[in-house]
Amino acid sequence: MSSSPTLIRGYEVVIGLETHAQLSTRSKIFSGSSTQFGAAPNTQASPVDLALPGTLPVMNRGAVERAIRFGLAVGATVAPLSIFARKNYFYPDLPKGYQISQYETPVVQGGRVEFFIGERQHVVNLTRAHLEEDAGKSLHEDYHGLTGIDLNRAGTPLLEIVTEPDMRSSAEAAAYARALHALVMWLDICDGNMQEGSFRCDANVSVRRPGAPFGTRREIKNLNSFKFLQQAIDYEVQWQIDLIEDGGRVQQATVLFDPDTGETRAMRTKEDAHDYRYFPDPDLPPLVIAPQWVERVRAEMPELPRLMADRFQRDYGLPAYDAAMMTQSKATAAYFETAAKACGQAKLVANWLMGELSRRLNADDATIEFSPVSATQLAALIGRIVDGTVSNNGARQVFDALWTGAGREVDAVIEAQGLKQMSDSGELERIVDEVLAANAKSVEEYRAGKDKAFNALVGQAMKATKGKANPTQVNELLKKKLG
């Protein structure tokens, strides 16, 4: 569960996130226009998207099914009846002068997201998730003091996921956002492409003295990277504390984060709900979701990450943290399970995935789907560690050869690079005897109680065997000889 909050300069940080996940439908939420990214400006905006007179919105069934899928995944209530509302405000890229959203009765109510920071489990409760349409896009860079409007994105289906103010640090907020990002991709309801705006977060941040009422929050808009999310919150927290310590008062506002300067800056005074003049949309009837529809969606859902993690603990004996890491994505889970079944060493497979494989993927900025080392190759390598054919150090050399393409078969690489561990116990005993004879001083120091001397003898023995001896066997033999 979540740990006690760490105070910053004597203040407790309070964070809630609103996340916009673009749903993976081929058409928009209320029209048949394409949602394909990258088309020429204003080529994917229909009369419905442009709010031309006489047009009427029609609900996209696929968007509703994706909302149901999300609600089931987080253990929320899927409302049998929900209402679409008009959220009124002026913006140049909002053709209607209002956005169709949900207000008092959202389609998904409640729920929770669980995740790990280190080996400590955290839980963030959700307030709601509601369906709405996206606005268009204002283009400022290429118009020399003017603004261009691209309405291709207008009407794109969004699921806005709102948390309770449960998070108490920027690290916790970033970890929650990563977990949510992984979940919506696992469910195939969002492609998760943050560069294209498919997954973006707004962070509501305030500070307070421990035990005091919540402070006034400021909302940081449109954060499209986990790194920027954490940086923006960290800066905002220090800014608010500085203001309060100088005798000022935080005013509710919407702010933007500038990655180049690492600072937030106020964009406008923050509106409250009544400023938007919400009222039910007269062109859209209530959304009715029958129990049979919910059950059909439930039956078609993939195995959920938390249930798969429970199964990995039960069937493979993994610790809870390892099981959670193995279910970060469907591809990771499939890779783990293939390797674990092939070699029967689930814990070692998890260790390699969280260690060497993860390090290599991060260095190459790649995902596990593009790993040069397959699950069956890793399983074969782990099998050779377990049966004593190769040492851990030798295994890393084999892995490097597989990764760089210098070899394709584990046994062939071991043979070609001479990495096979010494298996002749008689030969190893002879070498150990020579090491002891040549290092009489270290032997005396060890017998005098100096443990470091033993490590020196192990090092000499490994050097004498050119690293091919089994370290465990060397340790056992030395202890026997010195006993």
At residue 428, the pLDDT reads: 78
**What gap in Å lies between CA 185 and CA 171, rounded to an integer?**
21
Q: How many residues are given for the chain?
A: 483
Structure tokens at 35: 């949602």
Burial environment of residue 90 by CB neighbours within 10 A (0 to 12, 13 to 18, 19 or more): exposed
Instruction: Please state whether beta strands 108-109 and 112-117 pair in parallel, antiparallel, or not at all (unpaired).
Output: unpaired
Average pLDDT over residues 195-211: 96
| Tokens 């669980």 belong to residue | 114
Site of tokens 């035990």? 211
Q: What would the pLDDT profile of 285-304 be if each residue is shown by its tens digit?
A: 999 999 999 999 999 999 99
CA atoms within 13 A on the CB side of 297: 23
What rounded mean pLDDT belongs to the chain? 92
Please state at what angle helix 291-300 crosses helix 61-73, rounded to 10 degrees.
70
Contact 432, 439 (CB under 8 A): no
The separation between CA 429 and the C-alpha centre of its own chain, rounded to angstroms, equals: 51
Q: Counting beta carbons within 10 angstroms of the beta carbon of residue 53, is it exposed (0 to 12), middle (13 to 18) or buried (19 or more)?
A: exposed
| Lookup result for tokens 């990764």 | 403
Residue that the structure tokens 């674990």 belong to: 340
Q: Could you give the angle at the alpha carbon of 161 between the alpha carbons of 155 and 164, nearest 5°?
A: 150
pTM (2 d.p.) = 0.86
| Side chain identity at residue 419, one-letter code | L
Q: pLDDT tens across 34-80, in order?
A: 999 999 999 999 999 988 999 999 999 999 999 999 999 999 999 99
Report the alpha-carbon distance of residue 218 to residue 361 in Å, rounded: 37
Query: Contact, 184 vs 21, CB < 8 A?
Result: yes
Q: What is the pLDDT of residue 273?
A: 65
User: What pLDDT was estimated at residue 1?
Assistant: 45
Least confident of 278-287, 322-331, 373-382, 462-471: 462-471
Per-residue pLDDT tens for 417-429? 988 887 667 777 8
Cα separation, 139 vs 241, whole angstroms: 34
DSSP label of 123 = E
What is the amino acid identity at position 196? E
Residue 394: which of 431, 422, 419, 365 has the closest Cα?
419
pLDDT tens-digit map of 85-104: 999 988 889 988 999 999 99
- Nearest-CA neighbor of 128 among 173, 194, 67, 189? 67
Can you read off the two tokens belonging to residue 465?
């065997």
CA atoms within 13 A on the CB side of 235: 20
Q: What is the pLDDT of residues 387-432, one digit of tens each?
A: 989 988 899 999 999 999 988 999 999 999 988 887 667 777 888 8
**Strand pairing partners for 77?**
109
Pairing of strands 157-163, 199-208: unpaired
